[in-house]
Structure 1
Amino acid sequence: MSDTGLDIFDRTVQVSNEWLNEINAELGGEKKHAYHALRATLHALRDRLTVDEATNLGAQFPIMVKGIYYDQWHPATNPAKDERTKEKFLAAVDERLRKSATDDDPERACKAVFGLLQKRVTAGEIEDVKHMLPAEVQTLWPH
């Protein structure tokens, strides 16, 4: 565990690492790939939610993950106006993964992150988020 001298910071480092470890357990490989999968998937998801729903979801994240989630967000553009298909969603994740020089499979990344969210975020919030997504994107969530 980190030792910053502030319990809130130490705790968020610990919990954020737990999140990354859970994703990494699904993806394997280097832990940095788990970070890139988390970032790419959260940004693609956030950008397809209304501002209120994106904010409600982000409220349940550890502080460090909130920073990742809100980084470079432009709420005025939410929700994204692109075609609401699974292919477009995965393309958005893939684009973000490629920017980080990661050639991971975007569908595997999404499924790992959505599996984590399903465990770590309240069931009611997950249902609210899923209902904002097209049915074919909902298939990426665990059943």
Structure 2
Amino acid sequence: MTMPQTYFHASLDFDAFIADVRDTCMLQTHHQAYHTLRAVLHTFRDHLTTEQALAFAGVLPAVTRAIFVEDWQPSDLMPDPFPDRATLIREVQSVRRDHNLAPDSAIENVASALRRSSVDERELDRILATFPDAAAAYWKT
């Protein structure tokens, strides 16, 4: 069996994706883009059940998937429901506050970059359609 392309090209794909996040968010460095991406992913994850998080992770490219599950402590408890957009933005901006320069548009910016990356948009939308409306709305552009 050959190595799946998602792993073979993981580094190249992620480099292009993180550059897109940087440019879309109008950030200066890849480091700033990484912290913004991580904050957007972890904020989303915090409002999902374990089953939902694993389904979402399954559609992400390899490196993005690794960031999504980084430091995750799954729980059988029901997560807090998705709050309004302003609260979500504050949650994103509070992740690693000293290293986080996420703009107010970070969620939409990352959603746009993710949809332009190597993610299968049809599969992403199929998975999101099984989630609560607020979860699907998180990734609307």
TM range (shorter): 0.7 to 0.9
Q: TM-score, normalised by structure 2?
A: 0.76
Which position in structure 2 is the counterpart of 1:86? 85
Q: Is the 8 A contact 1:97 1:104 kept in 2?
A: no
Question: Which shows bigger deviation, 118-127 or 55-64?
Answer: 118-127
Cα drift, residue 69 of structure 1:
0.7
Identical counterparts, % of pairs: 17
Q: One-letter code of the match for 1:90? A: I
* Structure 1 unaligned spans of 5+: 1-6
For 1:77 and 1:115, the matched residues in 2 are separated by 31
For 2:139 and 2:121, the matched residues in 1 are separated by 18
Candidates 24, 37, 40, aligned match of 2:22: 24
Q: One-letter code of the match for 2:25? A: L
Q: Is the 8 A contact 1:19 1:116 kept in 2?
A: yes
Cα drift, residue 83 of structure 1:
6.1
For 1:64 and 1:78, the matched residues in 2 are separated by 27
For 1:116 and 1:35, the matched residues in 2 are separated by 13
Which position in structure 2 is the counterpart of 1:110? 107
Spell out structure 1 runs of 4+ moving beyond 6 A.
none
- Aligned Cα root-mean-square deviation (Å): 2.8
Cα drift, residue 81 of structure 1:
1.6
Which position in structure 2 is the counterpart of 1:141? 140
Q: Is the 8 A contact 1:82 1:88 kept in 2?
A: no
The structure richer in helix per residue is: 1
What is the count of residue pairs matched by the alignment?
A: 133
* Structure 2 unaligned spans of 5+: none
Q: TM-score, normalised by structure 1?
A: 0.75
For 2:76 and 2:18, the matched residues in 1 are separated by 28
